[in-house]
């Protein structure tokens, strides 16, 4: 199939970005549902349903990475070393500093204590050794920014590869990434075969490990969208992978047989998550011809720019919602998608307010600089 410009399917990917953000919210909420050992038959049945819903949420982060690859690696996108170090990385550093500072304070209940006892008492009660340690590593979900920085550092090189590689070579590259990453992860956490570990170590194919497979796959599927026949095969593999993920997780964690469940197939490095993510991404690519109702189309174009902020703020929103008892109880597995929607909508509202304030400050700064120059 001849190359299609990604701009023709922009709305499809915007919708996909919104979906990915919602899935990530559901993923983080699912921890409360799947990480506890059931105490009765009824609880175990609910746990099984929670596992199924949690498995469905796993492609959230991979889809974000694939979307980054689809846009950054496209041929008409200027991404030089200069651009990386003057634009992308500084912006990422500023985002990390702001949100890591925020969450480092939140981890010590700074904001709650400030409301109850005043700013001075709250500030004086901070454990600064703990604060700076938390600040350096970032909140648990901010690993994504570190990972994204790593992808940015190699983007000019990967962009050069994708620009000159044929479609078969790109398919081979993605296949190798999925294979090496999945086998390494499964052997480390599941098989534990010393011989295989030795072979993988001697092969020294660490370049193909991690999220680079998702990154390049996003470009591959958006540029060389497969035929409906090939896409159908990938869709089926995605559905089979989803079914395998939750059923195998049930088998690995029998009723009353665990304290902490084994969730090896929930890893973003699991071959099943790779296939589920590819299937969802391809579905968005293949539905490019669908036209939305105009109000929905306008909404789909406006909301995606807030999704990174939604990702960054939603753990704080989850914490506040639980404190305020806004969320439904975790007794029923089906409260998980409902709670995810509640948190997502609140996070989106907060993100819009934050981003509007940010853009207002930027406009004021620009106006001041223009006035000084004049």
| pLDDT confidence of residue 285 | 86
64 versus 292: the higher-pLDDT residue is 64
Residue with tokens 């690519």, as numbered in its chain: 285
| Whole-number percent of the chain with pLDDT over 70 | 93
**Which residues have CB under 8 Å from 195's CB, separation 6+?**
none
The radius of gyration of the chain from alpha carbons, rounded to an integer in Å, stands at: 22
Poorest-confidence range of 28-42, 297-311, 326-340? Answer: 297-311
**What number of residues does the chain have?**
374
The whole-model pTM stands at: 0.91
Instruction: Kindly state the tokens that stand for 170.
Output: 């790109």
Question: Distance between CA 5 and CA 311 in Å, rounded?
Answer: 28
| pLDDT confidence of residue 104 | 93
Ordered by start, the domain boundaries in the chain are 6-373
| pLDDT confidence of residue 3 | 40
Average pLDDT (59-65) is 96
358 versus 315: the higher-pLDDT residue is 315
Instruction: Please say if the pLDDT value at position 4 is more than 60.
Output: no
| pLDDT confidence of residue 308 | 94
Can you state the percent helix, strand and coil of the chain, rounding each to 5? 80, 0, 20
| pLDDT confidence of residue 9 | 44
Instruction: Kindly state the tokens that stand for 372.
Output: 């000084």
| pLDDT confidence of residue 63 | 97
Chain-wide mean pLDDT for the chain? 89
| Phi, psi (degrees; rounded to nearest 5) at 260 | -120, 125
Average pLDDT (142-170) is 94
Average pLDDT (315-343) is 93
């Amino acid at each position: 199939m001849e190359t299609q410009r990604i701009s023709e399917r922009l709305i499809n990917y915007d919708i996909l970005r919104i979906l990915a953000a919602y899935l990530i919210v559901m993923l983080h909420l699912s921890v409360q549902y799947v990480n506890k050992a059931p105490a009765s038959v009824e609880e175990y049945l609910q746990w099984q349903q929670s596992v199924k819903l949690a498995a469905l949420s796993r492609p959230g982060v991979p889809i974000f990475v694939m979307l980054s690859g689809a846009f950054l690696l496209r041929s008409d996108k200027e991404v030089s070393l200069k651009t990386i170090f003057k634009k992308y990385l500084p912006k990422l550093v500023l985002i990390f500093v702001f949100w890591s500072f925020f969450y480092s304070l939140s981890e010590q209940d700074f904001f709650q204590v400030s409301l109850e006892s005043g700013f001075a008492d709250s500030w004086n009660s901070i454990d600064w050794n703990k604060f700076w340690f938390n600040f350096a590593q970032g909140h648990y979900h901010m690993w994504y920014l570190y990972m994204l920085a790593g992808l940015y550092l190699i983007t000019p090189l990967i962009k050069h590869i994708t620009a000159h590689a044929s479609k078969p070579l790109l398919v081979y590259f993605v296949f190798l990434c999925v294979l090496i990453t999945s086998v390494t992860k499964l052997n480390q956490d599941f098989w534990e075969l010393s011989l295989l570990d030795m072979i993988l170590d001697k092969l020294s194919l660490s370049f193909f490990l991690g999220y680079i497979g998702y990154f390049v796959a996003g470009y591959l599927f958006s540029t060389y969208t497969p035929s409906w026949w090939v896409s159908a095969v990938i869709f089926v593999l995605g559905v089979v992978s989803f079914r395998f993920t939750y059923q195998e997780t049930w088998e690995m964690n029998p009723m009353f047989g665990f304290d902490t469940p084994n969730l090896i197939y929930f890893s973003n490095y699991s071959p099943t998550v790779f296939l589920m993510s590819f299937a969802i991404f391809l579905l968005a690519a293949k539905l490019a011809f669908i036209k939305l109702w105009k109000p929905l189309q306008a909404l789909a174009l406006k909301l995606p720019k807030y999704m990174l902020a939604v990702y960054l703020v939603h753990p704080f929103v989850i914490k506040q919602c639980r404190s305020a008892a806004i969320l439904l109880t975790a007794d029923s597995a089906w409260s998980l998608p409902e709670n995810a929607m509640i948190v997502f909508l609140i996070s989106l509202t907060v993100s819009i307010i934050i981003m509007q304030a940010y853009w207002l400050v930027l406009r004021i700064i620009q106006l001041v600089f223009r006035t000084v120059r004049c």
